Amino acid sequence: MRAVPMLTATCLIMLALASCANTIKGVGRDAANTVNATQNAGNRVGNAAAN
- Mean pLDDT of the 17-34 span: 85
Residue 22 has pLDDT above 80, yes or no: no
- Mean pLDDT of the 38-49 span: 93
Label residue 38 by pLDDT band (50, 70, 90).
Answer: very high
Q: Which of 25, 22, 21, 48 lies closest to 33 in space, CA to CA? A: 25
pLDDT at 1: 64
pLDDT at 41: 94
The phi, psi pair for 49, rounded to 5°, reads -70, -30
Label residue 33 by pLDDT band (50, 70, 90).
Answer: very high
Cα–Cα distance for residue pair 7/1, rounded to 1 Å: 11
What does the DSSP 8-state code read for residue 2? -
